[in-house]
Amino acid sequence: MISFPGCKINIGLHILQKRFDGYHNIETLFYPVGLVDGLEIIPSRGKTMFSLSGLELPGKGKPNLCIKAYELLKKEYDLPPVKIHLHKKIPPGSGLGGGSSNAANTLLLLNRIFNLELDSEQLAGYARYLGADCAFFIYNKPMIGLNKGDVFDDANVNLEGYYIAIIKPKINIDTSEAYKKAIPCERRRSIKELIRQPVDEWRSTIENDFEKTIFLKHPDIEKIKSVLYKKGAVYASMTGSGSAVYGIFDREPAIPDKLFGEDLILEEKI
């Protein structure tokens, strides 16, 4: 059985406070976009196996999130062995959530293959064990992410008819390191309130808090954001902790395949 795990952008990301468990409470808008990986899971007559094609993943020798998702359900439901193949197109270390999406879609596929009859809330509960934003990809629709990014509220936003372009620099950002340098701030207008404004007003009101420290260390990422505005974006931002930067356009943009030598990885109508 095959699925196509997608990715997301963060529209605004407020780091509110550090938690006692080492994580941070945040507020962000998760918005799914069209770049996808390919994921196939089939029963195996031998042992459980994982294979990879496409982009390489960091952390060789460490269990992949797809395997971790399988092992999580195997403990509860005594699943038989499977073969998992992942074709990777969503760049790791980009802030697009590709790894989290792979894990969530593994849960979804296993649920279907083995008729576990788990509903979305139950699957999201398992996904929360695998990563802070994994549960979002169980639902895969625009949602406000709260707490660690694993509790959700409805989002009143619709970008239908807009265009999006995503640039991925040849820089990978370690999310845990990015959080260590982040400066929490609680008192400000909520993203849920700010996204009700017209999109062309977001530029002056909606912020990604990671940009303050990431841009200091990696000024080329900030340059990409500036160029997207010069190309006509009505809103541009780094997504998550980076390093990918996206622009939202009210008309089809003319973005070269290479920008400062960096790759245009997605340009599509939303």
Q: Name the residue ranges covered by the structural domains of the chain.
A: 2-154, 163-269
Residue 123: pLDDT band with limits 50, 70, 90 = very high
Residues labelled catalytic: 8, 133
d(CA 200, CA 89): 30
Average per-residue pLDDT for the chain: 94
Asked if 114 and 76 touch (Cβ cutoff 8 Å), the reply is no
pLDDT, residue 205, reads 97
Q: Where are the beta strands (DSSP E) in 44-104?
A: 49-54, 82-88
Summarize pLDDT for 169-202 with one digit per residue, the tens. Answer: 999 888 888 998 888 998 889 999 999 999 999 9
Interstrand relation of 49-54 and 82-88 (parallel, antiparallel or unpaired) = parallel
Write phi, then psi, for 236 (nearest 5 degrees).
Answer: -140, 150
pLDDT, residue 228, reads 96
Read off the pTM.
0.95
CATH number of 163-269: 3.30.70.890
d(CA 31, CA 41): 26
Amino acid at 139: Y
Ramachandran bin of 16, using left for φ above 0, alpha for ψ from -120 to 50, beta for the remaining angles: alpha
pLDDT, residue 21, reads 87
How far does CA 171 lie from the centroid of its chain?
16
260 is written with which tokens? 């400062």
Summarize pLDDT for 14-59 with one digit per residue, the tens. Answer: 999 999 888 899 999 999 999 999 999 999 999 999 999 999 998 7
Closest CA to 66 of 46, 87, 45: 87
228-233: average pLDDT? 96
Residue matched to tokens 């699957």? 123
Residue 146: pLDDT band with limits 50, 70, 90 = very high
- List CB contacts of 212: < 8 A, sequence separation 6 or more: 183
220-226: average pLDDT? 95
Q: Is the pLDDT of residue 256 over 90?
A: no
Summarize pLDDT for 57-112 with one digit per residue, the tens. Answer: 987 767 799 999 999 999 999 999 999 999 999 999 999 999 999 999 999 999 99
- Let me know if the fold of 2-154 is the same as that of 163-269: no
116-139: average pLDDT? 97
170 is written with which tokens? 């040849």
pLDDT, residue 91, reads 95
35 is written with which tokens? 């770049």
Among 121-125, 140-144, 148-152, 177-181, the least confident range: 177-181
d(CA 179, CA 70): 28
Closest CA to 166 of 98, 105, 85: 98
- The alpha carbon dihedral of 209, 215, 220, 224 has a sign of positive
pLDDT, residue 58, reads 83
| Span 2-154 CATH architecture | 2-Layer Sandwich (3.30)
Asked if 40 and 50 touch (Cβ cutoff 8 Å), the reply is no
pLDDT, residue 180, reads 86
Write phi, then psi, for 225 (nearest 5 degrees).
Answer: -60, -45
Which residues face 259 on adjacent strands?
262
Write phi, then psi, for 41 (nearest 5 degrees).
Answer: -130, 130
Residue matched to tokens 């999310």? 175
